[in-house]
Chains A and B, each alone.
Chain A
Amino acid sequence: MSRSNEVLVEVRDLKKYFPVRGGLIRDKNQVLKAVDGVTFSIYKGETLGLVGESGCGKTTIGRTILKLYSPTSGQIIFDGNDITNLNDRQMRPYRKRMQIIFQDPYASLNPRMTVGDIIAESIDIHKIAKGEERKALIYDLLNKVGLSSEHANRYPHEFSGGQRQRIGIARALAVNPDFIVCDEPISALDVSIQAQVVNLLEDLQDELGLTYLFIAHDLSMVKHISDRVGVMYLGKLVEIAPSAELYDKPLHPYTRALLSAIPIPDPDAAKQRNRIILKGDVPTPINPPSGCRFRTRCPIARERCAEEEPVMKDYGGGHMAACHFIE
């Protein structure tokens, strides 16, 4: 993949808190810290993978970068421009350049619209094309994602999960974006279909020079598709590195546990390896642990971890991790 040294997307100390409602006694001050101070950059033409367990804030990051959520604090810089505080109208030109593919291909397509209209919705909004030209554009997009032009007049229910995800991809490509957030695009698909969609995403990246933020919990697929991978835990980025390096030499104890928990489809290797089984569950992001957030489940946690929050340190070659006890 043609990764350049030019930064396309940069987030600086990004925070997104959600107010917590409900319960008998409403405590207005309670907030859920979904993303709590995350900094990273995405280079032009690369795929940055973002992994972590449910509730770690990976989806929130994706949506906040696109300004689908307004950030609580921090900065989002897209292609050199600070878009953090732009209003909806000012965001319009940027919306053409950044798109999203959603996780659930069943819920993300309007069942009352034809596939053609779904794909062309953004073409219409941005007034890109009309009439015959619009039609030609739809057909072209359908062909690009491996569907045929006669699919344009059909409705989403007539398609399988993999085909629907292709429709979702065609919709994202309609405005000719530079950057696509892929939010668990293959989690809902069967194994044999996952590979089809991943290959399609890779081909489109090569062909159109796209930049991806690939969010997933399937670590083996993330490793496969990404140039670099970031690992998140409870609203924090704990480690980020080139993907081969991360899987080969994980530094953070959470990354190690996460990698050792991946089931390996090889019976002999599965018997040999040492699994790090973490105890307990992820704590709630409403009231996260003090200091290092991973310390309640960390096999090497010491007193210092409760008192002092570790900062991201550079270990060379773009490999960064946040832990007090990395040798």
Chain B
Amino acid sequence: MEKVLEVKNLHTSFFTHVGEVKAVRGVNIDIYQGEAVGIVGESGCGKSVTSLSIMRLVPPPGKIICGEIYFKGEDLLKKSEKEMQKIRGNKISMVFQDPMTSLNPVYTVGDQLMEPLRIHKKMDAKSARRQAIELLKAVGIPDPERRLNQYPHEFSGGMRQRVMIAMALSCQPELVIADEPTTALDVTIQAQILELLKQLKAEFNMSIMLITHDLGIVADLCSRVIVMYAGIIVEEGTTREIFYNPKHPYTWGLLKSIPRINILSKERLIPIDGQPPDLLKPPQGCPFMPRCRYAMRICKEQCPGLYSVSESHKAACWLLDPRAPAVTWDREGVNFG
């Protein structure tokens, strides 16, 4: 399989008036053609900043400090702004979290949908319109001819998110970055959108990078999962490896803190105590150490590197070192759905 995206040692910081906030601190990601990769983590873990860095859309005072981002072998960080414009929305596109604010309220949906087609594909107005109608049909919007002339406020949240997805797909990108695409939506609408993404992925053989905090969505859509915490990747593997054989205490905590829906008896949730660290002063050791019940002395002093569990499964935890005491992951304790 062809590698579509390769992120190497990415560091992105925000230079605020109180100091440098190190939002992303050395992230490596590979995405292959046709696969959906989920990036999970809590707010502030750097998952959105990673995706904005890939698009070179980090807002000031944020800056990419170092790293390489290869898209089909070309380093995006070496591209000029003009060259980037040819890639954004064309080869790589993005679906943002909030469908209410990411469409321009003063242009019709049709105008916004035709814009990338006219710019990137150099279509004339007529064929762009025809294509836009096709796209709206593809994402399941009824009566697309009429809908094209309407403004975003005439669409419901779910419908707007469909428009956003149609826009993202308009130039048949090779990679779609979806940043919490269903967070603002109701469950039944979320189910519709996820089904749509699955179907479109199969149809166009595109790659999806799905950023979310909802492990349920990842289990449903993605074949691989990357778990981020405090700006670094703490664990990555296939979806089955992450859900059935997690190795990092943070992943254990995430899985344990969500209630199981198919268990009839009532059981107590096991939260992760405390809060994520302040990235103004990222800790010297493992960032999860203060919240980790298995923490050892080394965890405070030195940040662990990624240990390989299998060819596809890696985790950054000192517990995986052969010298560490054996901590077994008790399956019973996990809140499987």
Contact = CB atoms under 8 A, between A and B. Distances in A.
The answer on A and B forming one complex is yes
Interface of A: 53-54, 160, 162, 190-196, 198-199, 202, 217, 219-221, 223-224, 244, 247-248, 257-270, 275, 277-278, 281-282
A281 B158 contact: yes
A160 B42 CA distance: 13
Q: Which of A196, A224, A265 has the most CB of B within 10 A?
A: A265
B183 to A, nearest CB: 10
Contacts of A278: 188, 191-192
A217 B243 contact: no
B117 interface: no
A7 to B, nearest CB: 22
A95 B191 CA distance: 40
B271 A192 contact: yes
B264 interface: yes
Given A192-B257, A192-B272, A281 B336 contact: no
A191 B269 CA distance: 11
B170 to A, nearest CB: 23
Contact of A263 (B220, B239, B260, B268): B220
Interface in B234-259: 239-240, 243-244, 253-255, 257-259
Contacts of A267: 219-220, 239-240, 243-244
Interface string B170-195: 00000000000000001111111011
B243 A258 contact: no
Given A195-B270, A264-B216, A265-B337, A281 B189 contact: yes
B18 interface: no
B134 interface: no
A220 B159 CA distance: 25
Nearest to B265: A244
Given A195-B269, A217-B187, A265 B258 contact: yes
Given A199-B271, A263-B214, A53 B259 contact: no
A262 B336 CA distance: 13
Given A195-B271, A199-B271, A277 B254 contact: no
Given A53-B187, A264-B337, A220 B258 contact: yes
Across the A-B interface, the 4 shortest Cβ-Cβ residue pairs: A263-B216, A264-B337, A195-B271, A224-B259
Contacts of A248: 264
A267 B215 CA distance: 10
A195 B271 CA distance: 5
A266 B219 contact: yes
Given A193-B275, A263-B215, 11 more contacts: A53-B189, A192-B254, A193-B271, A196-B273, A217-B186, A248-B264, A258-B188, A261-B188, A263-B217, A264-B337, A281-B159
